[in-house]
Amino acid sequence: MINLRRWKSGSALVVALGMTASTIAPLSVPAAADAQPAPYTIAQLFPSSPSSPSYNRRVAIPAGTRIPVQYSQAEKVVVLPTETTPLTLTVARNIRSSSGGLLIPAGSEIRGQLRPSDGGSQFVANEIVFTDGSRLGLNAESKIVRTTREVQPGVSTDAILKGAAIGSGAAAAISGVTGNRRITLGKVLAGTGAGALGGLLLGKRRADVVVVNPNSDLELTLNSSLTVAVR
């Protein structure tokens, strides 16, 4: 009799655990091609009713997930270490769930700013605009980029500026140091030039600029989870 009770109790526990596991089994985000290399945490699937279309399902992409990005407007971005410049990147590859559901389509826009950070520049994202026009707040950032070049009078800036998108602060600093009032190479971005102008007023005859290669330097890491609809 005692053994029978133990067996029944153990069976009930096994069944209960099995039911729990099948109810809350999470959906993994792939660690390979479309998403990110790291030992992968999971994306939680929020269940919908059986009759709901698949795009009504929502998945939480976890903090720590990396998002590959690219910048099609220029080969590089040149800014002052003290300059904040708005920038829009695009998602480079589709990001999918392990079951193949599309979470973030390639070509979605990520909006944010290049900001001063610890002697370099860092992209901080605040919004993602999906290819269907829907948008979500986004908390993600790149690594800090500390690749700098020095601008001096009489030294050609062609290698720095060719193919570059240039922050307005960097453009003002380069013009002031070199004496060239017009930047003929590159594309000047809207931004804040106060740091550059302040430096020139103090009589600086050189300037350091940060050179960012967006396609390799600005891969983003989520600081908090992002809940998206499965497309």
Domain boundaries, the chain: 66-98+105-225
Rg, C-alpha atoms of the chain: 25
Confidence at residue 62, expressed as pLDDT on a 0 to 100 scale: 94
171-to-83, 87, 88, 189 alpha-carbon distances in Å: 11, 16, 19, 9
Q: What is the DSSP letter of 145?
A: B
Q: How many residues make up the chain in this entry?
A: 231
pLDDT tens, 200-218? 434 467 889 999 999 999 9
Query: Average pLDDT of 158-185?
Result: 80
- For the question of whether the overall pTM of this predicted structure is more than 0.75, the answer is no
Q: pLDDT: is 26 or 130 the higher one?
A: 130
Q: How far apart are CA 197 and CA 205, in angstroms?
A: 12
Q: How far apart are CA 20 and CA 157, in angstroms?
A: 64
Residue 130 contacts residue 105 (beta carbons within 8 Å): yes
pLDDT tens, 80-110? 999 999 999 999 999 988 888 899 999 999 9
User: Measured in whole angstroms, how far is the alpha carbon of residue 90 from the centre of its chain?
Assistant: 9
Closest CA to 67 of 42, 94, 85, 46: 94
**Which stretch of DSSP H or E encloses residue 69?**
strand 69-70
